Homo-oligomer: A and B are copies of this chain.
Amino acid sequence: MKTKTITDLGEFGLIEFIKKNNTEPKKFHNICLDIGDDCFAFSPYTKQKYIVTTDILIENIHFKRNWATPEQIGQKAIEVNVSDIASMGNSKPLYAFVSLGIPESTSVEFIKKLFNSIKNTCNKYEIHLSGGDTVRSKDITISVTLIGICYEKPVSRTGSKSGDLIYVTGTFGDSSAGLEILLAGKKNLTSFEKNLIKKHLVPQARLKEANLISKNIKITSMTDCSDGLFKSVELLTQNKGAVINTENIPLSKNLIKYTNGNHNNLYNHALFGGEEFELVFTIDKRHEKKLKKLLPSATCIGYINNSNKVTYLENGKTKKVKYNGYNHF
């Protein structure tokens, strides 16, 4: 019998196993939001909650040194964690713990640039670099744990209700197209290709937008889109259902140019492309006007219902969409 490997189990199988077999929290843990959301939240004595997220980036899996400068790698390592903090709503990142695995042959210049970029990105968000570990490794490894504060009840992935509108920030598919261009190793890049690559290499956390909307409107659920829009919608839908109008999914001019009219290709990037780090969130319909005023750039892509499934429409007609996303193993 063939031994079952982690590739057979898959990322979601592994996460399922961990959730089922996890430690049982006790009262003194004061948990507000447990493992499995964008952040973990706890609060022992105060109304404010501590929120914690962690991410690990490994060379040749998540980035390549001939694609990305040390500055870009460092910036991304912090931005992706700030993005998780942002998706809790009304929050502020505070303390970063950065562990670095560094191959012996790495130049001091590279490490100093990487560190300075981590520091500069921390400074941008008033995060204090508070600890870490430095070890030898075969590939550059960057593990970041970010602790922040959430000034209200954290916005989880699970609070949406039937009738809520699904909104997003930014555009979708750019990061994934940028990665595709990098993987193809194309030289002499056009300006739209360069823009797509930039979105992949240096995503920007939507902290300002998340704070703006969550301070002023009740956001019923929210996530940052790290594993693709399709997956994000699934996370916010949970045991309910949803309708997504695919023609409303915001797409950049860069992506449209890049896919050159290939409709399938365009929507593959937009629905399944990971590492977009845009916000996907739900609000009660009666707050729509206020939201449009606050954040005119946000786009409604559909709504939550009780159908028990996610239906994709294209100009009113059902569109068959099959999961085509990235599996980590």
Contacts and interface: CB of A to CB of B under 8 A. Distances in A.
For chain A, what secondary structure do more than half of its interface residues adopt (helix, strand, loop), or is it mixed? mixed
A238 interface: no
A9 B108 CA distance: 7
Contacts of A283: none
18 contacts: A4-B108, A5-B106, A6-B102, A6-B105, A6-B107, A6-B108, A21-B116, A25-B128, A31-B128, A40-B97, A40-B131, A52-B145, A53-B131, A58-B137, A61-B136, A136-B329, A141-B143, A147-B147
Given A35-B131, A119-B23, A17 B112 contact: yes
Contacts of A18: 115, 129, 132, 134
Interface string A42-71: 101110101011111110111000000000
A45 to B, nearest CB: 5
A103 B138 CA distance: 13
Interface residues of A, number: 81
Best-surrounded residue of A4, A42, A45, A97 (most CB of chain B within 10 A): A97
Contact of A35 (B22, B62, B101, B129): B129
A130 B56 contact: no
A139 B57 CA distance: 13
Best-surrounded residue of A6, A103, A328 (most CB of chain B within 10 A): A6
Best-surrounded residue of A45, A130, A132, A328 (most CB of chain B within 10 A): A130
B107 A40 contact: no
Q: How many subunits of this chain does the assembly comprise?
A: 2
A139 B7 CA distance: 15
A116 B130 CA distance: 30
Given A52-B97, A58-B136, 5 more contacts: A23-B119, A28-B126, A53-B131, A54-B145, A61-B136
A53 to B, nearest CB: 7
A34 interface: yes
A35 to B, nearest CB: 5
Interface string A1-23: 00111111101001101100111
Interface in A83-116: 94-95, 97, 99, 101-109, 111-112, 115-116
